[in-house]
Structure formats: structure tokens, C-alpha cells
Structure 1
Amino acid sequence: MLYSPHAVRKARALPHAQRGFTIVELSVAVAIAGVLLVSAIALVQVVLRQTRANDLVSSIPRTITQIDKMYARAADYAGLNTAVAIGFGAFDGAFDIVGPANARVALHRFGYQTLAQAADNFRNVAAPPAPAGGGAAPPADPSAYAVMYAGVPRAACADVVSSASASGVLGLIVVPEATVGTPAFTAANAQLLRLTMFDATATPAPAGVVVKGTTQNSALNVAAMSGANACGTNNDTVTIAMVNWK
């Protein structure tokens, strides 16, 4: 048998094809997925906010019309409050009515309270004085009322205010909220919603801005609405008070 003088060389194994992903590739993929996820969440939040704002906006004319209709034959809005307004259907399907029968609350689509209240002595700083000769003081003058929406997001403020103005609301006041969802106006201080057209010395509320209502048929004051003490606030939410009067 013949043998080759040269050593037999082993065949070189071919390199294996690379399998899987490198750390760099995985990092890039995760980063892209994260960006897409954040973008998707932000888009969903925008869509939800716009949908809720649209629901709130569409409810405004129905709420105001229902209140005006119920008090059309009355001299004023005496007795109007949130419970009464809920009772005669001023807050329709765009609201969630929650709580026990004796303490029902109307929540708008952003999940915070909507209040309705007659505004006593709306045209005067103080209640009418008692007669000099004695006797009972004249009754309060609840000739106006306010529907107050708490917890409206800053991003939805301008849409809600402009839509309310277009729907025929006579007066609009915007107040930034110190605490999200805590009304800047309450049923107890609705009388503070006096407008300058009735009382030049009155202040509607601390830091509140009258954006419509300084004359009987005034237009929306866009500059005031956009200011830092109204829809242009740095606070997360505002309370919007919509005021009508006889």
C-alpha cells in the first residue's frame, strides 16, 4: 500500500451562518417599539380628550335650553340647584348621574362634577337692605343662574368656551383650578358670578376671567380667553361657568 509523504490535512469546516440578533439590533428594535408605543398612547389620549370634549360641547345647548324652558314662565330662577336640574333632565345622556337619591351628582365626560345654581343678587353687590321702618328685607334676586363645569382639561378649554359662546350662553367665566377637578365655583358661592355689565366693582371670583358677558350681546373675548388666567393657564384644569339671566 502506498502512503503519501505529506500529512493528511483535515478538511476546514465552513463557518456557520449567524443565528439570532446582536445586542445592537435588539436595542434598536426595542427603541423603535418604544417610540411607536409612546406615539400610539399619545394619539389615543388626544382622541379620547377630543371625544369627551365633543360630548361636553354637544350637551351645553341641551342643558341651557332645558333650564330656560323650565323657568320660562317664572320671574326668576328661585330654587334652581344641581339636584333640581338633574330632576327635570337638564343633564342628559352625556352625563353620568351617580350617588344616592338624596345626593345625586352629575359627572360630565371628563369625570368631574357639573353644578347648577341660581345666582342671588346677580345685579347687586349685596342683598337688598331691610326697610328703614322695619319689616322683612326684600327677597333675594335670583334672576340669573350658572352651570359650572369642573375639571375641564386646559387643552379642551378653548373648544368648550367657544362652542358655549356660539350656543347662545350670555356670560362665560373661566377660572384655573388649584386642584384638578375641584370646582373653582361652588353652589354656595354662585352669587359671585356677577358680571361687570351689572356691577362695575364686582369681581366674579379670585383670578376668574370674564370672557363673555360685559355687554348684553357681547361677543367672545378671544384675547381674554387665551390669557394666562383663563384657557392659557399652566394649570392642568379649569372650571368654566356658563351664566344666563333674565
Structure 2
Amino acid sequence: MMTEGMFSNYFLPGIWITIQVTVFSALLGVVVAFVIGTLRTSRLWIVRFLSGVYFELFRGMSSLVLMFWLVFSVPLILQWQFVPMYAGVLALGLTYGAYGSEVVRGALAAVPPAQREAGIALGFTRFQRLRRIEIPQAWPEMVPPFNNLLIELLKGTALVSTITVADMTYAGNLVRIGSNESAPIYTLLLVLYFVFAFILTRGMRVLERHAKAGVGQAPPRKGLWSRLSLRESAGEGSGALTAGGAAR
């Protein structure tokens, strides 16, 4: 039976490792996504070709096999050993960054051409147009698909357990072996991944709201507090009308 000591000694460190792998992989993935995504919109065909090769290569590559290659093949080729956690972060970041680059490319392509032409007329460089015009307008459209990719990345971190990184899944397997119980352990893992995914989703919803507010597209708030505030404002409005009628 799983004890409190097993949870504190195995699961809590595993949760911390999962958080680290998710955060570092996401940061690397965002950098790769923006670099490759913007390069794929370049006017130079060679830049578009090379960035497209990266996209097709890593989109069609298995993250798990890439981890195995980094951990077991690179030492044989380069005589240099990857730390397993770094290999997992690199494999996940490069792979999901390739997926994210298509999100960036599509969102930039959706910016009205007149906006880019206005930047050219103002004498902006390519980098200035991206920073001041295109990315601010495309960013709100990137957040929802980035949210999906972030959730997939979180679930994909379980793959690092296969290269001996002691994440939640690896810790769960150790506790299962020690306690000889499968159902409670894997149920707890399912719940933990769901909770983390839910927290990430809520955080990305807040980010999406702020992104849309930045371009004047803030969606109306939904939920109990928004309905209460609407009722209060309606009540104040009706009270003002009644007072106005009485004054007359």
C-alpha cells in the first residue's frame, strides 16, 4: 500500500521534475516556433526552404525516438554524453517547436496585407514590422493553438521516464513496484496530469484575454461574478430611471 513516505520521497520530486521539463521544453519550443515560423514567411526562397526542411523533419519525427537517439547514439558518434533530462527537454522543445512554427506562420499570414504595406510605407525594416505591426496583431490568434500544444507537451513529458528521468510517471512506476498496487497509482497520475492541464488552460485563457484586449478585441467575461456584476449594473440603471421619473 502506498504510504505518505512513498508520496513525499517519490511523487513530490517527480512532480517538480515534470514541472521543470514542461517549463524548459515550452520555453525552447516558443523560441523555435517564432524563429522558424517567421523565417517561413521570408521573401528569400532559400530561407523559406531551409526553415521548411526543419519543419517537415521535426514534425515527422518521433519525440521518443529522438530522445533515444540523443541519449544512446550521440555518445557513440560524438563521444559526448547528454544528461537525460537535457536530452528530454531538447527533444520535446525541438519537436513541439516545429508544430508551433506552423501556428506562427499561419497567424502572421492572416495579418491583412494592408498592415504590412503601411509598415513598408513608413520605412520600417522587416524586424520592425514584425515587432510593431504583425506579431501584436497575430499574437491573439496564436494563443488558443499554443494552449493545445502546451497541454500536449505536458502529457508528452511522460516520455522522459523512458530515459530514466525521474518525473511523475517514473516515480509512479517505482511506487507501483514497491507497493504492488497499480490502480491507485495510475489513477493518481491521471488526476495529477489533469490538474496540471487544467491550471495551464486557465492561465492561457487569461493570457488570451489580455492579448485580445491589447488589440481591442477583449471577449466578454463569463461566469458567476460577471452575471452578478451585470445584474448590479442593471439594477443601478433601473434605479436611476426610477429616480429620473420621480424627479419629473
TM-score normalized by the length of structure 2:
0.29
In terms of fraction of residues, the more helix-rich structure is 2
The structure having more radius of gyration, on CA atoms, is 1
- Structure number with greater CO (CA < 8 Å, separation at least 6) is 2
In terms of fraction of residues, the more strand-rich structure is 1
